[in-house]
A = this chain, B = another copy of it.
Amino acid sequence: MKALSSPQDGIESGGGVWRFPADQPLRLDSGATLSPLEVAYRTYGTLNADRSNAVLVMHALTGDQYLASTHPVTGKPGWWTRVVGRGLPLDPDRFFIICANVLGGCMGTTGPGSTDPATGAPWGLAFPVITIADMVRAQAMLVEALGIETLFAVVGASMGGMQALQWAADYPDRIFSAVCIAGAARHSAQNIAFHEVGRAAIMADPDWRGGAYEAAGVRPEKGLAVARMAAHITYLSEAALQRKFGRELQRDGLSWGFETDFQVESYLRHQGASFVDRFDANSYLYITRALDYFDLGAAYEGQLARAFARARDVRFCVLAFSSDWLYSTAESRDVVRALNAAGCRASFVEIETDKGHDAIFLDEPALDSALRGFLASAAEKRGLA
């Protein structure tokens, strides 16, 4: 393990890349095994003496481990500095917070851009297709390697929320509580459709080269930017787009051409252009595929409640945003219904907001207070000071 430590506003911060030995391969749902497995992660705060204060935060589709640290590529603050920090719901003075780059990702954890030991070249499309459960299995290996038997909480939003549910299904004895924000128990037809558009855009880019772009010294930036633009619309509500941009123009008057006339066009193009600087096209293919394959109840003959049968001692918190049309509140309600049917303790909070799915990352005090309340109550039950 190569430790990287850099203080963040005086907060103890650590992490690095955990390299598992060849005799500890990752067994995948597809039947394949992956070795060597590397997991890149960051930590905030200090593990207490009885190792009971560890929280695993799981990121969304295009997130990474830079939860509360400056991003090494973009130079921007961590993606959840609203929630993670001194005096915030996830306080590093209280919790030992871990965030790992997801399996299949492009920020240090093994993914399609990693070296295939069989060829010495990047995996590309030879990388095995992975699932949300595989991602969680890799996280569980990291958590164990860090010497943590039971996590105080797994906390995730969007794809991270799905991982929180998968943790509860697969490792109920290793978590005390689970928070699923703006998640779902399965990917809907519309979700799959949007992902397919993104994949088609990437694969349509001649610089994608069947996934072997790295060897060719090119990158399918245009295709990846289009994928991001399409996806980004789904992160915002129509109301938020209307409020933020409406039909506001970039300049006085129309261009009578294909310049960016409208502010919303400029915003969307910027989202696409800046995304390709920090993300990898093949990772986007693999992670969207994992999401499409996600259907937590499917392994239990479609009875989602059975997925949670062993999780009766886990405290659940399910949060959803009223204007989220990517993972709607109806889908969160389905999760809560299944948790209740399984006899699990579940709090459900529907947060009224017009910010859509993106509310995860935005100033949404109701999210902060719901998280704070749930975690405080769970911490008390767990005997954390």
Contacts and interface: CB of A to CB of B under 8 A. Distances in A.
Interface in A194-211: 194, 196-197, 199-201, 203-206
Given A30-B256, A258-B285, A192 B230 contact: no
Name the prevailing secondary structure of the A interface residues: helix
Interface in A155-199: 186-190, 192-194, 196-197, 199
Nearest to A231: B197
Given A188-B242, A193-B229, A200-B226, 8 more contacts: A30-B256, A190-B236, A193-B264, A193-B268, A196-B262, A197-B233, A204-B204, A254-B293
Given A188-B241, A189-B264, A256-B129, A201 B201 contact: yes
A193 B241 CA distance: 9
A268 B292 CA distance: 15
A244 interface: yes
Q: How large is the interface on A (under 10, 10 to 19, 20 to 34, 35 or more residues)?
A: 35 or more
Nearest to A189: B241
A189 B247 contact: yes
Interface in A236-290: 236, 238, 241-242, 244-247, 254, 256-258, 261-262, 264-265, 268-269, 272, 285, 289
A222 interface: yes
Contact of A258 (B199, B269, B325): B199
Contacts of A257: 129
Contact of A226 (B125, B128, B226, B246): B226
A225 interface: yes
Nearest to A194: B233
A293 B269 CA distance: 18
B196 A268 contact: yes
A295 interface: yes
Contacts of A205: 204
A223 interface: yes
A188 B272 CA distance: 20
Contact of A187 (B189, B247, B293): B247
